[in-house]
Structure 1
Amino acid sequence: MTETVFGERMLITRGAIAVTTRDSRPLPEVGDGDVLFAIHRIALTANNVTYAAAGEMLGYWRFFPGPEGKGVLPVWGFGEVVESRAPEFAVGDRFYGYWPLATHLLVQAPVSAPGGFTDAAPHRQGLADIYNRYSRVEPRLAGEEALDALFRPLFMTGWLIDSFLEGAGDFGAEQVILSSASSKTAMAAAFNLSRRGAVQVIGLTSAANRAFTESLGSYTHVLTYDEVDTLEQKPSVYVDFAGDRALTQSVHVRLGDALKHSAIVGMTHWSHGGDTLLPGPTPTLFFAPAVAEATVAKLGSAGFADVTGRAWAKFVPAVRDKLAVETLHGLDAAETAYRDLAAGRIGGASAIVVELD
């Protein structure tokens, strides 16, 4: 696959995602129809660790091909045109979307679309469209862009989880249990579940993150991981954001036949494995892009944008003052932050935004 990422970038060792390096490549000649972007403001969350942990399985390394044995981490945020040989793009145009953790990205022959463009590079074919679409935006206050970078994609996943469960009648459950409950995607799912009010929402988290998770006001109860044995044995759904096989085993054993559905969403505890067979329902992957595309087909693009936009507008005030947003500068700081995230050293109340220029 042709590499499209230029400038300075962070590389992750495929198969050993805590091992990182950086390299630098000269900026390219921009060919006819191509656009060169500088990547400005991005977020780093536990979700990015999931991208790395599932890079082989779900194709995340394919978005921005790197050298042999290395992966370029996808991140959400904002980029700006610095050179264009495509008539629809002017220097200074700003876009929100899915970027590499790098200083620049060359997009070859972007396909203009209403409100933005699609990266139609051959190596991105067959990947979820939601990752290949970029939205044109007007420059805004740094704090507003930070919240978008941190939460918009994760909020969407949380909203889709609630929508999926509602469509399934919550599988007959009385409670939905979320692991890694302080993670931003779990926060979004809990917010939407609690507003709907059909089930109790139980959060599982570390002792260090318990107080923060309780402060969110979205969970009926918050338990620490060593309190799994106190879960009520009533019809339940388990939504796993942690990817911790031992924890999933404990939840399945505790709930037994009361567990009606088990979903895998994230891998924030990617290093915690296990091979023991699980009692109860087989965990199934919740792949948000596929669910999003099915939901758009059902509601229509305008309907989907309307309902999720209204939900987002309610969510932002609920979390704006709950997070300690830290703005870092440069790839060196981004690399350190990623390593801390991969090692589980960053608490749920922390929110990391990186300005790369």
Structure 2
Amino acid sequence: MPNRSTVSRLFTRKDALDQTRLVYQETNLETAEGEIVLRLDLFSLTTNNITYAAFGDSMQYWQFFPTGEEGWGHMPVWGFADVLDSKVAGVEVGERFYGYFPIASHVRLQPERVTPRGFYDGAEHRRNLTSAYNQYTRCSWDRYYSPATEALQILLKPLFLTSAMLADFLEDNGLFGATQVVFSSASSKTAYGTAVCLGHRPGRHLVALTSPRNSTFVEGLGCYQQSCIYDQLERLANDQPTLYVDFSGDLALRAHVHQHFGTSLMYSCFAGSAQTPEANVLSCPVGPQPAFFFAPVQIRKRNAAWGPEQVSRHIGEGLQDFYQQVSRPPRPWLSVVEGRGYEAAQALIADLFHGRVAADEGHVIRL
């Protein structure tokens, strides 16, 4: 008899990211040769996921898990899933994998390039998409994996990978001649992760731009040497070479930053936001034109220069240090909040989109 089951999927409206709906479908979960079926167990939801959705068409994020419905997308998330059925040599039922999944009860993948580390999904529609998002890591292989830090891994690893590669990119280019680095949305995990990776060094001044709501949190982090709320931007020194790293995507703020620093602005780096793509035109009337940073490009460069094992070690060891830093008592930077089920995910997506999630909270969803 066919192994029929109800598969549930959470769809997001592409032109209104705070609107979601559950879709149920009776389907046969048996695998064909070369396929596996996994059950999603735990995933994180952060502003990073809203960024994926905001750039879903322009950056092809919607194409990883197509819905087949016009106007509706399947928001991708980082999480852990367990193999329910497998007809692939080297992938066993019950194994746990970390990777990029749709918000759904089950997902069917077509593993190829199977190694002790894991596999890549070989589905035809994913072959021309960014390979970093097609890789699934076997938890039993990953020496940096621990059941005790699963929540931190899915909250921080995707963001820290961007942080580490962004810091590496900036260092690789000598900070474009800047001595001052200004971060917008400095309370975001990716922003302060980048600041941690850059570190405090002689001749380097890291400045946090943030909202009044998050100013106390940002000041307490210790990874920035100066903190400033947005409407006090004019107080920042504009007579030294400055690099702007934009995590907000706020066009008015970007224009203000460019105008304030003027000819002192050496480089303007756009690193992602929760805004819609239409609101994030990569242009500015004053100063250098903003350049979009895409972490997989820098990863490819480092894979070629260092080798994949060294890149994995660089990320893994940095991430372990970051776990300790964000969790350190008595004032941890991040408190894990676990929600249960799709309704919690729907409410959280809306809160993230509207900026209603506290900076010191990291949310995961258990299905």
| TM-score normalised by L of structure 1 | 0.93
Query: Structure 1 residue 191 and structure 2 residue 184: aligned?
Result: no
Query: Structure 1 residue 108 and structure 2 residue 88: aligned?
Result: no
Cα drift, residue 15 of structure 1: 2.3
Residues in 1 aligned to 2:147 and 2:104: alpha-carbon distance in whole angstroms: 19
Residues in 2 aligned to 1:197 and 1:75: alpha-carbon distance in whole angstroms: 38
Supply the RMSD in Å over aligned alpha carbons. Answer: 1.9
Counterpart of 1:146, as a letter, is A
Cα drift, residue 110 of structure 1: 4.1
3-state SS in 2 of match to 1:57:
coil
Corresponding position of 1:39: 40
3-state SS in 1 of match to 2:362:
strand
Residues in 2 aligned to 1:128 and 1:208: alpha-carbon distance in whole angstroms: 36
Corresponding position of 2:25: 25
Q: Can you give the 5+ residue segments of structure 2 that lack an aligned partner in the other structure?
A: 1-5
Corresponding position of 2:315: 308
Q: Pick closer, same or farther for the CA change 1:71–1:272 going to 2, 3 Å.
A: closer
Corresponding position of 1:3: none
Cα drift, residue 308 of structure 1: 2.3
Cα drift, residue 216 of structure 1: 1.3
CA shift digits 1:246-290 (9 cap, x unpaired): 111111111111110001111134499487843000001101111
Corresponding position of 1:14: 14
Contact 2:284 2:290 in 1 (8 A): no
Cα drift, residue 181 of structure 1: 0.8
Q: Can you give the 5+ residue segments of structure 1 that lack an aligned partner in the other structure?
A: 1-5
Q: Pick closer, same or farther for the CA change 1:102–1:57 going to 2, 3 Å.
A: same
Cα drift, residue 16 of structure 1: 2.3
Cα drift, residue 307 of structure 1: 2.2
Q: Pick closer, same or farther for the CA change 1:171–1:14 going to 2, 3 Å.
A: same
Moved more, 156-165 or 19-28: 19-28
Query: Structure 1 residue 75 and structure 2 residue 77: aligned?
Result: yes
Contact 2:111 2:119 in 1 (8 A): no
Q: 1:124 aligns with which of 123, 126, 134?
A: 126
Contact 2:111 2:120 in 1 (8 A): no
Contact 1:35 1:110 in 2 (8 A): no
CA shift digits 1:173-208 (9 cap, x unpaired): 011111111111112101111255652111111111
Counterpart of 2:189, as a letter, is K
How many pairs does the alignment contain?
A: 351
Q: Pick closer, same or farther for the CA change 1:72–1:211 going to 2, 3 Å.
A: same
Residues in 1 aligned to 2:276 and 2:222: alpha-carbon distance in whole angstroms: 27
Contact 1:246 1:273 in 2 (8 A): no
Q: What percentage of aligned pairs have identical amino acids?
A: 37
Alignment of 1:1-357 (within 5 A): 7-28=7-28, 29-66=30-67, 67-138=69-140, 143-195=148-200, 199-233=204-238, 234-270=240-276, 273=279, 277-320=284-327, 321-356=332-367
Residues in 2 aligned to 1:124 and 1:38: alpha-carbon distance in whole angstroms: 20
Residues in 2 aligned to 1:190 and 1:309: alpha-carbon distance in whole angstroms: 17
Residues in 2 aligned to 1:96 and 1:141: alpha-carbon distance in whole angstroms: 12
Contact 2:249 2:280 in 1 (8 A): no
Moved more, 191-200 or 32-41: 191-200
Residues in 1 aligned to 2:50 and 2:280: alpha-carbon distance in whole angstroms: 19
| TM-score normalised by L of structure 2 | 0.91
Q: Pick closer, same or farther for the CA change 1:44–1:143 going to 2, 3 Å.
A: farther
Q: Pick closer, same or farther for the CA change 1:197–1:43 going to 2, 3 Å.
A: farther
Cα drift, residue 77 of structure 1: 1.3
Contact 1:208 1:347 in 2 (8 A): no
3-state SS in 2 of match to 1:102:
coil
Counterpart of 1:159, as a letter, is A
Following TM superposition, the consecutive aligned residue runs of length 4 or more in structure 1 with deviations greater than 3 angstroms are: 138-143, 195-198, 269-277
3-state SS in 1 of match to 2:237:
coil
